[in-house]
Amino acid sequence: MNKHILSGNEAVALGAFQAGVKVASAYPGTPSTEILQNFATYDGVYAEWAPNEKVALEVAIGSAMTGVRTLFTTKHVGLNVAADPLMTLAYTGIPGGLLMVCADDPGMHSSQNEQDNRFYARFAKIPMLEPSDSQEAKDMVEAGLLLSEKYDTPALLRMTTRVCHAKGIVGMDSQSQAEVPTAEGFKRDLKKFVMIPAFAKLRHPLVLEREEKLKAVSETSPFNRMEMNDPRIGVITSGISYQYVKEIMPEASVLKLGMTFPLPIGMIREFAAKVERLFVVEELEPYIEDEIRILGLPVEGKAFFSRLDELSPDAVAAGFAKAGVLPFDLPTAGEKAPGSEMPRPPLLCAGCPHRGLFYALNKMKAIVHSDIGCYTLSVLPPLQSIDSTLCMGASISMAHGTAKAMAQAGIDDKRPVFAAIGDSTFFHSGITSLLDVIYNKGNVNVIIMDNRITAMTGGQQNPGTGKTLQMEETNAVDIITLVKGLGCSRAREIDPFDLEGTIAALKEEIDHDGPSVLVTKRPCIQLFRQDPKAVRVVDTDACIGCKMCLKLGCPSISQGDIIPDEEGKKERRYAYIDAATCYGCALCEQVCKQNAISIVAG
């Protein structure tokens, strides 16, 4: 068999292509991004980055209404954004298969929360599949589309970071179980698709009827199976947790659940009756455990397996040890070695265009509501220049609320209020926030950091870049024109590599009463890597070791060895610039008061 090692995300893309999906829409978000990036490379498919997840799901719904098999992908918090169309889509259904892939991030490797999106399936009453590895991820794509088509419902494929990004062996051959149905085109069906109250009332009972049918499907789903072994311990589990259970408790009996909404109640009862002690091992919330409790069955789970963070083989072993049933001694892992606690947080790259802005903001004594992107890293020392990060687009609206409240309540605080937001995040959901500021005569200084790409997720095109996901040329939004169209006449571009100019611009906007927009325009250096312009070097005769340059938090700048006392000079360590990684942005040269940093000679 033709085999490859694929990530869960690559496997979903392959599965979607092989199952005849023709249209896909998404907004990038870790850990889901690679699904569409991979899908977009297959022949004969259309894939797009939408400005946000709500738009993406609506595009997908419109597509599936014509009978075409369609894919929507999102990270967990993105489904909050798309929840509005989802909840009514659950009423209308769609003729074409519509698979919604949702990638949760237990452990918050790259997210602002670790919400458990399995509850969305229950909330919307739509079928949910949960793969445990890449092969299953691929197989569940077609299964989900078939469920969607047969039961006139979107299907949710719920993944997690460890399934999305772990790689495992996948058979590449097409294993389509059924022929792809011919799309019948758009058909008018007012009582199904026009959700005025009178028609929605007709649809709601159908949702409940569908749920009953899906319960029966779950009882016989091939993705739900009992692996009977030692009857003394029975474990119900799903997703990546299944792998940890098999690893740690190879002798236990396992009920592996792949279809987790609706849950196979009959199968759970049957399994519970066969085992002496019943456990549920699941990440995050007691989603399965609570349902079993409702059945009145004795079950143990969250007492041993935390609701916090992702699980791991270690956490699962520790849980079973606590429960007194671990069949082996916990491995004698040594203590962490001394020195292992040194922090190495991710940071803005050498030459990152965000650095100059946040260095300047740090000097402003301002309240800075920030948004979601690489620039959120400026919360850490030494830049430490933002006050909040909540969700996509929130910076501008929160800044507006803060400014209004301070004025209304007469709070004695003269600090100016800034909002700092990236280009892609602004397109995602900052535009409506800015509209609110302008419409309601707010006093917020908005900074849009236009680095010409969606950087944090690894460099995706967006409406400002002039290219589509499939690399076709397209319109590039002019941010200044857009902002002026919203009614903000005070808007201009600045260069964040020019520190003096940036500081002056910020001060000017602080002094100005009313809303303003500054656009810092510099491309992301990771994605538009050019030859370093002019690598900087430290003149050790001039350097006094004052550490001013270190306050930039640049990974290229460090300290050299300690230089002992000399006549007239105290003990000090010169600054050192790593020529291999310096990009030549010249911020360090601008902050050095000793003029000790300059372009490498020659």
Partner 1 sequence: MNRDDKKTTNVLVVGTGGQGVITASEILSDVAMISGFDAKKSEIHGMSQRGGVVTSHVRYSEKVYSPMIMEGEADIMLSFELAETVRWLHYVKPGGRVITSRQRIIPPAVYAGMGSYPEDAEQVIQQRAGDPIVVDALPMAIKLGNPRLVNTILLGVASTLLDLSVDSWKSVIADRVPPKFKDLNLVAFDQGRKVT
* Residues of this chain, 384-423, that bind partner 1 according to CB under 8 A: none
In sequence order, the 6+-apart residues with CB closer than 8 A to the CB of 597 are: 536, 537, 538, 539, 549, 575, 577, 588, 589
Q: Build a one-symbol-per-residue string for 116-135: x at contacts with partner 1 by CB under 8 A, - elsewhere.
A: -----------------x--
**426 DSSP assignment:** I
Q: Quick one: which of 125, 246, 355, 369 contacts partner 1 (CB under 8 A)?
A: 246
Alpha-carbon span 491 to 508, nearest angstrom: 12
Piece of 38-46, 312-320, 386-394, 404-412 that binds partner 1 (CB under 8 A): 312-320
Contact 100, 94 (CB under 8 A): no
Q: Angle at Cα 390 formed by Cα 550 and Cα 439, nearest 5°?
A: 110
As measured in angstroms, the least distance from the Cβ of 246 to partner 1 is 4
Do residues 177 and 18 lie in contact, with contact meaning Cβ atoms separated by under 8 Å? no
294/333 with CB nearer partner 1: 333
Residue nearer to partner 1 on the CB measure, 456 or 585? 456
Distance of CA 459 to the CA centre of its chain: 13
Between residues 129 and 377, which has the closer beta carbon with respect to partner 1? Answer: 377
The yes or no reply on residue 171 touching partner 1 (CB under 8 A) is no
Q: Which of 439, 449, 441 is nearest to 419 (CA)?
A: 449
At 406, the amino acid letter reads: M
Q: Does 344 bind partner 1 (CB under 8 A)?
A: yes
Q: Which is nearer to partner 1, 37 or 462 (CB)?
A: 37
Encoding tokens for residue 410? Answer: 């007469």
Q: Is 324 in the site for partner 1 (CB under 8 A)?
A: no
CB 479 within 8 A of CB 422: no
Give CA–CA dist 53/77, Å, rounded.
9
Among 66, 526, 540, 594, binds partner 1 (CB under 8 A): 526
Give the footprint of partner 1 on residues 527-586 (CB under 8 A).
Answer: 547, 550, 553-555, 557-559, 580
Indicate which single residue of 41, 66, 110, 598 sits in contact with partner 1 (rule: CB under 8 A).
Answer: 110
| Spatial separation of the C-alpha atoms in residues 567 and 572, rounded to whole Å | 12
Give the integer Cα–Cα distance in Å for 485 and 320. Answer: 61
Burial of 62 per CB tally in 10 Å (0-12, 13-18, 19+): middle
Q: Where are the alpha helices (DSSP H) in 344-498?
A: 354-362, 394-408, 423-425, 431-439, 479-486
* CA atoms of 180 and 184, how far apart (whole Å): 12
**For partner 1, which is the closer residue by CB, 250 or 487?**
250
State which of residues 324, 346, 564, 568 lies at the interface with partner 1 (CB under 8 A).
346
For 594, the token pair is 């000793």
Cβ proximity of 31 and 164 under 8 Å:
yes
Q: What single-letter amino acid sits at 210? A: R
Contacts to partner 1 from residues 5-34, by CB under 8 A: 5, 30-31, 34
Residue closer to partner 1 (CB basis): 66 or 312: 312
Q: Which stretch binds partner 1 (CB under 8 A): 78-86, 162-170, 431-439, 489-497?
A: 162-170
Contact of 26 with 37, CB cutoff 8 Å: no
Q: Give the number of residues in contact with partner 1, rule: CB under 8 A.
A: 64
Cα atoms in the 13 Å half-sphere on the side-chain side of 92: 24
Binds partner 1 (CB under 8 A): choice among 62, 171, 382, 523: 382
- Rule CB under 8 A: is residue 244 a binding residue for partner 1? yes
Residue with smaller CB distance to partner 1, 267 or 377 = 377
Q: Which is nearer to partner 1, 463 or 553 (CB)?
A: 553
Minimum distance of partner 1 from residue 382's CB (angstroms) = 4
Residues 196-235, one symbol each (x = binds partner 1 by CB under 8 A, - = not), give ----------------------------------------
From 317, 417, 448, 596, residue interacting with partner 1 (rule: CB under 8 A): 317
Q: Which residues of 79-105 are buried (b: 16+ CB within 10 A; e: fewer)?
A: bbbbeebbeebbbbbbbbbbbbbbbbb
Binding mask 67-106 toward partner 1 (x if CB under 8 A, else -) reads ----------------------------------------
The SS3 assignment for 131 reads: coil
> Interface with partner 1 by CB under 8 A: which residues?
3, 5, 30-31, 34, 109-110, 133, 161-162, 165-169, 240, 243-244, 246-247, 312-314, 317, 327-329, 331-349, 374, 377, 380-382, 456-458, 526, 547, 550, 553-555, 557-559, 580
